[in-house]
Structures are given as C-alpha cells and as structure tokens.
Amino acid sequence: MSDGGLTVLDGTQLRTIDLSLPESDGILTGAQLLELAESRASSCLFGLSLPENLKSSALKRLNFGDVVSFRPTELDRDQASSMLKDYVSAIADVLKVDPIVVAILDGKTLKLFLEDEDDFAMLAENLFTDLDTEDKGKINKNEIRNALAHMGVELGIPPFSEFPPLNNILQKHGAEGKEELGQAQFAQLLQPILQELADALAEEHVVVVQNIKIVNGSKLRKLLASEENLNAVVERILQQVNKTEKDAQRRTDMIRVFLEENGKELGLPSSKADESVALLYDEVFTDVGNTESADGSEMDEFRLLVKEILENFAEQLDENPVFQELND
C-alpha cells in the first residue's frame, strides 16, 4: 500500500511469500528458524531490517516463552515448517494492527529535479540561500554535505548513516574543505553529485522508516471486541459525564469532549492534529442516532451509545486511515 511517495507496510506484503524450507536433510535450530523467517520477511518488505519491537510483538503472539532458550532448540522439518509460517504470519498480524510507514529512496525523485533545468536551478538557489547564513554570496565547499541533509528524505536524499556510499560520492567530487563557492559554482558542483547519487540509489534502494503513526481503527476494534474493556471505558466516561443529565444531545456532546481529550489511548487520532481529524469527529457525531436498549435502562442505553460512536470511528478509520506524526 502506498500513499503520496510513502509506502505503508501493513502485512499484506507477507501474506503470499514463499515460506518453503531450504533443501536440507538435517534439522534446524530455533535460531536458524528465526533468522530464516526474518530474512524472508525483510526481503519482502523492500529489504527493511525488522525493528526489534516488531519481532518481539510477533513472538509474543506465538507464546514462544523464553526466546533465548528456544534458539538452541532442534526442530524437525515439520515443526520448522509450521513455526516458520506461524512466525511470518504473526509479523503480518502485528503490522496489520500497527503498520510501518517507509520512504523507498530509488533515485526517481532526484532524477525529476535533474531532468528539469528550471526545477534544479530553483532547488540549488534555495539551498544556497539557506546555507549562506551570513549573506556573503559565498559558502564553503563542505556545505554541500549540509545541503544534502537539508534536502532530506522528502527530496530523495538518504541519511548519511543509512547510505555510507554518499560519503564516497562527496569525496569523489571534491565536496570538502573551506574553498568558497558562489551560487553558480555551488550548482555546478551539486548537479553531478545528485546525478551519481540518483544512479547509486537506482541500483541499491534505501528504505527509511518514517516517524509516522497510522491510525486505522484496529486498536478500536480490539477494544470493541472485549466487553470488559468497553465497559471500563464507559465507566470512565460516566465519571466525567453529568449522570443527572437527561438531554441526549448534551450527553453526546460530553462523550465527544471525553474522546477528544482521551481518544488517543483508545486508538483514535489526536483531535489536535489537523482539520481532517476535526472533520472526522464532526462526521461521526453527526451520524449518531438515538440508541435504546431492550430493557430501557439508562446505563445500557448510554453503553450502546458509546459503542455506536466507537464503531462509527472504527469504520471511518478503516476506510480512511489517518497519518500522524508520532510526537503528535
């Protein structure tokens, strides 16, 4: 799944991969099995090195117990085959609940700038202006490194830590030292560096995990599936809602206030994020109907109302997930 230059790893990529064991007459250890599963999953996820929290969450779903003691365990082919499929499936399940957003840097964005003279000239001019902090009309050669960092992943530049060959490219083109460059000289030096970087990325893609959280309703659906957890939420809301309030609209408004203040921990997007989230709240609460329980008790009616609202949120988020910065 992709979105505006970003790629969402939500587990669907792992559902159809080849999980056959390598040809061997021998047994596999637990360590070899884990390495095989993680290697297969990584290759299917554009070469992403699986985050430790993703692996540990998947293993917890399998009730492996102590992973350290599992690693030397010897497994026959039937056991290994079953566990391989279960582990990769568990990784996919974790990603479905908590997807990872990545940028795949393959040089295409850079080539778009390089193929259009006007776009490249504007890019070089803006970078030069930003780096010429003293407004001298000159910057040092070694500022090229800062120019690339300034462009960043959004413009197709991988972090130096993720792509060490970038250092070699700078060295090859002499982008070092204190020699001063004017704007035209800066552009002349920048262009071949970006061209070589674009070519290198075309051969060896770089996958960069983004600081983005996708709110897709999965956490809400898990909450709704547990009557105990749902009741606990209802109790919390009741503690803040005027229990003597009889007006249905007033009660609904009080529920909205609670969710706007506490919804993030329940699996809702932060209400302070952007206008689209405010519109989501408006749409959900506009659709709220008059819910009555079979026995007509106020507590049950209130519980059904909260459930209806949360179900509406889950449905909307499933159809239109919300992307948010992790620090929102």
pLDDT in tens, 209-227: 998 888 999 889 999 999 9
What are the contacts of 159-168 at 24+ separation with CB within 8 A?
Answer: 159/208, 162/206, 162/208, 163/105, 163/200, 163/201, 163/206, 165/200, 165/204, 166/197
The answer to whether residue 62 scores a pLDDT higher than 50 is yes
pLDDT digits (tens, 9 = 90+) for 276-328: 888 999 999 887 755 444 445 577 888 888 999 999 999 999 999 988 887 65
Segment 156-160 shows an average pLDDT of 93
Residue with tokens 């449905």: 315
The answer to whether residue 4 scores a pLDDT higher than 50 is no
Lowest mean pLDDT among 8-22, 161-175, 237-251, 261-275: 237-251
Domains of the chain: 6-98 (no CATH), 105-209 (1.10.238), 216-325 (no CATH)
CA triplet 312, 316, 317: central angle to 5 degrees?
115
d(CA 189, CA 175): 8
Percent residues over pLDDT 90 in the chain: 61
* Mean pLDDT rounded to a whole number for the chain: 88
Please give the residue that has the higher pLDDT: either 289 or 20.
20
DSSP secondary structure, 246-315, as one string: --HHHHHHHHHHHHHHHHHHHTPPPTTS-HHHHHHHHHHHHS------SS--HHHHHHHHHHHHHHHHHH
pLDDT digits (tens, 9 = 90+) for 167-206: 999 999 999 888 999 999 999 999 999 999 999 999 999 9
Segment 127-150 shows an average pLDDT of 93
pLDDT digits (tens, 9 = 90+) for 82-112: 999 999 999 999 998 889 999 999 999 999 9
The answer to whether residue 233 scores a pLDDT higher than 50 is yes
- The pLDDT value given to residue 326: 73
Give the CA dihedral 305, 308, 309, 311, nearest 10 degrees.
Answer: 160
Percent residues over pLDDT 70 in the chain: 92
Joined together, the tokens standing for residue 49 give 């090195």
pLDDT digits (tens, 9 = 90+) for 30-57: 999 999 999 999 999 999 999 999 999 9
Joined together, the tokens standing for residue 322 give 């919300």
What's this model's pTM, rounded to 2 decimal places?
Answer: 0.74
Please give the residue that has the higher pLDDT: either 312 or 4.
312
